[in-house]
């Protein structure tokens, strides 16, 4: 998930442009973690590029109750400054040690002037992953006894329950 900022880096401080994000979010071994859309604003700063704006990551999953495939959206709000590895004026490599301590883990713009949002988006995805996603709020799940999808099928398991369990079930309620 890269945005090329070569042109923007040549402009004056304060220059801004928008960038649409659209495409797959990949992890390090190229498997798809989700699909990203977003509308970002890129602003030239004295040191690099400030990126801000909303994005959405559509994550494929399965419903934790009925196990049907489903998708849900993890929102991301990007608001970060990205610094070039190469000094804009001199072309010299900016050494990480030369930056402020605060910037040690600041995201970088690579030698091709690509600003890589992958790691930022991966972090949002990780933070937004649902432990128990539901295809819908009131998903009925599958019957523990016969396995039918309770959203779609009727079944008569309830009637077949041994009445002796009824007392215990009441206690558990
Ligand atoms: Zn479901
Ligand atoms: Zn059943």
- pLDDT, tens only, 32-75: 999 999 999 999 999 899 999 999 999 999 999 999 999 999 99
CA–centroid distance, residue 141 to ligand 2 (Å):
11
CA–centroid distance, residue 152 to ligand 2 (Å):
12
Task: Answer whether residue 30 shows pLDDT above 60.
Answer: yes
Q: Ligand 1 (ion): which residues have CB within 5 A?
A: 63, 65-66, 135, 139
> Closest ligand to 141 CA?
1
CA–CA dist 73, 35 (Å, integer): 9
> Closest ligand to 148 CA?
2
Q: Are 106 and 81 in contact (CB under 8 A)?
A: yes
pLDDT for residue 153: 79
CA–centroid distance, residue 149 to ligand 1 (Å):
9
For residues 20, 111, 28 and 120, what is the CA-based torsion angle, rounded to 10 degrees? -50
> Closest ligand to 154 CA?
2
Report the predicted TM-score, pTM, of the whole model to 2 decimal places. 0.75
Q: What is the mean pLDDT of residues 79-103?
A: 69
CA–centroid distance, residue 143 to ligand 1 (Å):
12
Task: Answer whether residue 160 shows pLDDT above 60.
Answer: no
Q: Are 122 and 43 in contact (CB under 8 A)?
A: no
Give the angle subtended at the CA of 111 by the CAs of 46 and 81, to the nearest 5°: 35
CA–centroid distance, residue 133 to ligand 2 (Å):
22
CA–centroid distance, residue 156 to ligand 2 (Å):
6
- Write the CB contacts of 29 (distance below 8 Å, at least 6 apart in sequence): none
Q: Are 85 and 9 in contact (CB under 8 A)?
A: no
Q: Are 51 and 44 in contact (CB under 8 A)?
A: no
> Closest ligand to 156 CA?
2
> Closest ligand to 70 CA?
1
CA–centroid distance, residue 140 to ligand 2 (Å):
12
CA–CA dist 141, 66 (Å, integer): 4
Task: Answer whether residue 103 shows pLDDT above 70.
Answer: no
């Amino acid at each position: 998930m890269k945005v090329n900022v070569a042109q923007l880096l040549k402009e004056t401080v304060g220059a801004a442009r928008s960038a649409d994000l659209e495409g797959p979010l990949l992890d390090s071994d190229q498997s798809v973690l989700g699909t990203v859309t977003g509308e970002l604003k890129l602003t030239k700063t004295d040191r690099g590029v400030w990126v801000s704006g909303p994005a959405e990551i559509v994550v494929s999953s399965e419903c934790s109750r009925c196990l049907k495939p489903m998708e849900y959206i993890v929102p991301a709000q990007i608001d970060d400054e990205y610094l070039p590895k190469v000094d804009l004026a001199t072309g010299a490599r900016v050494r990480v040690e030369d930056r402020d301590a605060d910037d040690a883990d600041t995201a970088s713009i690579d030698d091709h002037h690509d600003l890589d949002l992958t790691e930022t988006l991966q972090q949002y995805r990780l933070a937004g992953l649902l432990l128990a996603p539901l295809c819908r709020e009131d998903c009925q799940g599958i019957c523990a006894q016969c396995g039918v999808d309770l959203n779609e099928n009727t079944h008569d398991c309830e009637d077949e329950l041994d009445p002796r369990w009824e007392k215990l079930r009441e206690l558990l309620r």
